[in-house]
Amino acid sequence: MESVGIMADNIIRLSKSAIGEAEKKAVMDVLDREYLGMGNEVREFENMLSRFFDRPAVCVNTGTAALHLALQSLGLGPGDEVLVQSLTYVASFQAISATGAKPIPCDVDADTITLDVEDAKKRLTDRTKAIMPVHYSGGMGALDEIYEFAENNELRVVEDACHAFGGYYKGKKVGSFGDIACFSFDGIKNITAGEGGAVVTGDETVLQKVRDARLLGVEKDTEKRYKGERSWEFDVIQQGWRYHMSNIMAAIGIEQFKKLPAFAARRKYLAKKYRENLESNGSIEFLKQDLNSIVPHIFVIKLKSGHRDEIRNKLLEKGIQTGVHYQPNHVLSLYNDGNSLPVTEEIFPRLLSLPLHSDLKDSDIDYICEQLIECLN
């Protein structure tokens, strides 16, 4: 979700890409070769990701496309239901409804803002085919309990891990285990490809369906694209989409991936610095997260009282962008089924996202915290 607001040299941005000369050179190399579509760079990026996760990764053009194709590969369609927390970006819901299935909004755990498993259990029906835990801000919540619930009810699990690239859950790399994990490489994620996403799974049937569906359903076209060729005679047996990643995007992603250790360390450090500066303030609550294990994509605080919009306006006057992640989906016209989610509805007006990206300076964090405390006082 891109940052919005005043754009000026002296603004502290909520989020931004961190791009250097290596990414620029990599893009120019692709432009000079004049093969911009899906080819060798995409294959190289996929291979890097597959080694990183120790299981196959398939790249697509957005994180939303990754979620959509992962769900489609499971055969979901009209009449099916997918359990998902309401407090997530609308992309999670759109990916579900794009298959024809119905997203079933669930409440969140107040401490982690991840899926409340007990609430999800209440919404299970004979139409439920999958569950989508959202790794909000990089945290995974009660993932073991979600997988146990899914196994007991023969549900597939599609992890919306778009916030969680590079993070660990109980010592295991997110994406290296479980059913299906989907990642995003958009402009402000932990690493970026400009845009882009990936589906990671050990299920070869899912992988092949995703590979074909990203190329308009053309069967086994992937290998030819890697060689700079294409299929002229082919068959199509499933609905496909133009969701493939381009060499330009992959070239950026390759260079960004090399920087992941530095980016991850910086994000963790900045999140910890926020906590140190703000922990004595009684007007603020933090998410329950292990900042040594996750790579925080956003830094979200919970205000103990209201006045969030007033605080946001005051901070913007001081040159500080803030955000709200996210408006609950069950209040949107398309997904409003009339049900109430008490924890989500109580907590949403108190959520405030502070600037977090690897280019922030220590002095920026100090200034943001000083101004926030002044507003709260």
Q: Which residues are catalytic?
A: 189
Distance CA 191, CA 63 (A): 12
| CA 361 to each of CA 4, 266, 367: distance values in angstroms, whole numbers, following the listed order | 20, 10, 10
The span from the CA of 98 to the CA of 76, in Å, is 10
**Helix, strand or coil for residue 304?**
coil
Neighbours of 338 (CB within 10 A): 5
What does the CA dihedral 277, 279, 285, 289 come to, rounded to 10 degrees?
90
Q: How many CA atoms lie within 13 A of 279 on its CB side?
A: 6
Contact 35, 246 (CB under 8 A): no
Judging by DSSP bridges, how do beta strands 81-85 and 102-106 pair with one another? parallel
Distances in whole angstroms, Cα of residue 290 to Cα of each of 39, 146, 304, 319: 38, 19, 21, 30
Which tokens sit at 300?
């979200």
- Please provide the distance, in angstroms rounded to a whole number, between the alpha carbons at the two ends of the chain: 30
β-partners of residue 83 are 104, 131
Contact 298, 323 (CB under 8 A): yes
Tally Cβ neighbours within 10 Å of residue 235: 10
User: Cβ(66)–Cβ(184) under 8 Å?
Assistant: yes
